[in-house]
Amino acid sequence: MTYETLLVEQRGGVTLITLNRPQALNALNSQVLADLISALAAFDADPSQGCAVLTGSEKAFAAGADIKEMASQSFADMYGGNFFAGYDRVTATRKPVIAAVAGYALGGGCELAMMCDFIIAGDNAKFGQPEIKLAVTPGMGGSQRMARAIGKAKTMDMCLTGRMMDATEAEQSGLVARVVPVADLVEEAVKAATTIAGMAPLATLAVKEMVNAAFETTLQQGVVFERRLFHGLFGSEDQTEGMAAFVEKRPGNWTGR
Residues forming contacts to ligand CAA in the complex (CB under 6 A) are 24-25, 27, 63-68, 104, 106-108, 111, 130-131, 134, 138-140, 142
Minimum CB distance to ligand CAA smaller for 96 or for 130? 130
Of 106, 9, 16, 25, which Cα lies nearest the Cα of 53?
Answer: 16
CB of residue 8 to ligand CAA, shortest distance in Å: 23
Separation of alpha carbons 30 and 85, rounded Å: 11
Choice among 52, 60, 63, 65 that is catalytic? 65
CB of residue 204 to ligand CAA, shortest distance in Å: 29
Minimum CB distance to ligand CAA smaller for 33 or for 97? 33
Q: What is the CA radius of gyration of the chain?
A: 19
CB of residue 143 to ligand CAA, shortest distance in Å: 9
Whether 12 and 197 have beta carbons less than 8 Å apart is answered as yes
Choice among 111, 113, 167, 252 that is catalytic? 111
CB of residue 146 to ligand CAA, shortest distance in Å: 11
Separation of alpha carbons 245 and 237, rounded Å: 12
Choice among 131, 170, 197, 200 that is catalytic? 131
Minimum CB distance to ligand CAA smaller for 96 or for 108? 108
| Helical residues (DSSP H) of 162-218, grouped into ranges | 167-173, 185-197, 201-213
Active site residue 151: no
Whether 105 and 62 have beta carbons less than 8 Å apart is answered as yes
Separation of alpha carbons 253 and 251, rounded Å: 7
Q: Which residues are catalytic?
A: 65, 108, 111, 131
